[in-house]
Structure 1
Amino acid sequence: MKKWNYIKPKNLNAERPEWLISEHTRNIVAAFSEYSEYTESEVVDKFLKNLLTDDDFVKWATNKRNNKRLLKQLGIEETEEK
């Protein structure tokens, strides 16, 4: 029997950020969006999630005091008890 692959929403809880970026950065995102055929929002979302592969950042977040909420927000599981 074939298992169905249901369509999942792309962006759960998507919000418009309130930050400013340079024109140069906007041009990079726009060009990469055109190249990759992703929307600009998808490009930014995918790129920023790559920050979670920075071992020093993950280590910092894991060692931060009262970090359970932060780790949950970042999607990082605590691997060992302190």
Structure 2
Amino acid sequence: MMKIKPKYPNTEEVKLKLSLQSRKVLEHYSNYTGLTPSQILEEVLPHLLKDEDFIKYVEGKRSNKRMKRELGLIDG
């Protein structure tokens, strides 16, 4: 039997403040895809790690090993 693993492990509920436009984008995109707004954010946010300027920012931080580990940029 094939085991099914959760797609988004280690999740926790957080409170965010979003503009009306952002909430509507999430709401309509959620209706379009059939995903929840949380699932949409889980899919979109990892793409921020492809932002070269953000990666340069992380590289430039002093003692950035913890940050890199949290972002999944290094193992451990």
Q: TM-score range by the shorter chain?
A: 0.7 to 0.9
C-alpha deviation, 1:5, in angstroms = 4.7
2:23 paired with 1:26: yes
Match of residue 36 from structure 1:
33
C-alpha deviation, 1:73, in angstroms = 0.4
Distance 1:5 1:56, change over 3 A: farther
More helix by share: 2
C-alpha deviation, 1:63, in angstroms = 2.1
Letter in 1 for 2:52: D
Match of residue 55 from structure 1:
52
Letter in 1 for 2:4: I
Unaligned residue ranges in structure 2 (runs of 5+): none
TM-score, normalised relative to structure 1: 0.79
Unaligned residue ranges in structure 1 (runs of 5+): none
Q: Matched residues, percent identical?
A: 35
TM-score, normalised relative to structure 2: 0.84
Which structure has the larger Rg over C-alpha atoms?
1
Match of residue 10 from structure 2:
13
Aligned length: 75
Structure 1 SS opposite 2:18: coil
Distance 2:30 2:47 in 1: 16
Distance 2:18 2:8 in 1: 21
